[in-house]
Amino acid sequence: MELRDRICVVTGGASGIGQALCRRFAAEGARTVVIVDKDADGALATADAVGTQGTALTADVTVEADIEAVVERTEAEIGPIDLFASNAGILGFGGIEAPDSVWESVWSVNVLAHLYAARAMIPLMLERGGGYLLSTASAAGLLSQPGDAPYSVTKHAAVALAEWLAITYGDLGIKVSCVCPMAVNTAMLRGGAGPAAQDTGGSEGSGASRPETQAAAVAGILSPERVADSVVAGIRDERFELDRGELDVERHDGGGLQIELGNGIERQRLHITQLAAA
């Protein structure tokens, strides 16, 4: 899909990867970029940077009514949403000892918010015969690595949800892409503490202990702009998995994906439909 003249919504647009996506979508000629974030000032700052194509909305993506309101308001005041990017995400530090409150808050932002966006958008997109859902997961959603279990597990779930949506609605015109970068130079990587970190007193993890930071030691740190470049190229080609950093991916005859990390870890992924056919 080309982004020219499209109406795009980006959650987590106040900072980091989301902010870079907003700027890049505008540079590609998007008609309007709706910057959604719970950080109202940050969303306004991104809208200012985007210029006349940018508009800011304050919302908490873990509240389904907030996502519904974003969709309803955008469709009523601007027009039909062509692309909804579920990008907002938070860290979740710790292992099995991490309290339920951490698991629940990370699950809400990293997974349920993507579900709420799909629930709000898919009926509208089906009615008009197409649309695009973008999901920011992570390389931590493709490869299990030591460290923050709530983050890694919820990112695996985000990839799974995106795959399920792609398989279920792809033939009905709804395109899905899932962004899976390794370490990206944003507030999150620099040790930014999300609510989950505060729940654990901020003592159980830091940017340095995160899977993506450990991976960066192998593969280097990406800039948010580099991720946005790769996302735009992937949307243009309508590819499912975007930006695996240095992950080396080959398509195999069976249609599955062989994903290799530079340090020798590898994992085979097969889509459910392909497994069923095997």
Ligand X SMILES: NC(=O)c1ccc[n+]([C@@H]2O[C@H](COP(=O)([O-])OP(=O)(O)OC[C@H]3O[C@@H](n4cnc5c(N)ncnc54)[C@H](O)[C@@H]3O)[C@@H](O)[C@H]2O)c1
Asked if 211 is part of the footprint of ligand X (rule: CB under 6 A), the reply reads no
Among 32, 74, 136, 152, binds ligand X (CB under 6 A): 136
Contact track, ligand X, 230-259, x by CB under 6 A: ------------------------------
Minimum CB separation of residue 162 from ligand X in Å reads 12
Question: Is 109 a residue that touches ligand X (CB under 6 A)?
Answer: yes
- State which of residues 45, 183, 197, 235 lies at the interface with ligand X (CB under 6 A): 183
* 112 touches ligand X (CB under 6 A): no
Q: Which is nearer to ligand X, 186 or 200 (CB)?
A: 186
151 is catalytic: yes
- Exposure of 31 in the CB half-sphere (CA atoms within 13 A): 10
- Of the ranges 23-31, 115-123, 170-178, 179-187, which one interacts with ligand X (CB under 6 A)? 179-187
- What's the start-to-end Cα distance of the chain, in Å? 31
Q: Among candidates 27, 74, 82, 81, which has minimal Cα distance to 55?
A: 74
Residue 46 as a binder of ligand X (CB under 6 A): the answer is no
Residue 212 touches ligand X, criterion: CB under 6 A: yes
167 CB neighbour count, 10 Å cutoff:
15
Q: What's the CA gap between 83 and 272, in Å, rounded?
A: 25
189 binds ligand X (CB under 6 A): yes
Mask: binding to ligand X, 76-95, rule CB under 6 A, as x and -? -----------xxxx-----
Q: Which stretch binds ligand X (CB under 6 A): 36-44, 71-79, 197-205, 253-261?
A: 36-44
Q: How far is the CB of 157 from ligand X (least distance, A)?
A: 12
Q: Is 139 exposed, middle or buried (0-12, 13-18, 19+ CB in 10 A)?
A: buried
Tokens matching residue 174 = 């709804």
Q: CB-wise, 141 or 275, nearer to ligand X?
A: 141
Count the Cβ atoms, other than its own, within 10 Å of residue 36.
Answer: 30
Instruction: Classify each residue of 116-136 as buried b or exposed e, where b means 16 or more C-beta atoms within 10 Å of its C-beta.
Output: bbbebbbeebeeeeebbbbbb
Structure tokens that stand for 45 in this block: 């700052």
CA 23 to chain centre: 16
Per CB under 6 A, does 150 bind ligand X?
no
16 binds ligand X (CB under 6 A): yes
Give the strand order in the sheet containing 54-58. 54-58, 32-37, 7-11, 83-86, 131-136, 174-179, 241-242
CA angle 115, 118, 120 (to 5 degrees): 110
Q: Which member of 39, 75, 246, 260 binds ligand X (CB under 6 A)?
A: 39
Catalytic member of 116, 132, 151, 169: 151
Note whether 56 binds ligand X by CB under 6 A.
no
**Site residues, ligand X (CB under 6 A):** 11-12, 14-18, 37-39, 42, 59-62, 87-90, 109, 136, 138, 181, 183-184, 186-189, 192, 212
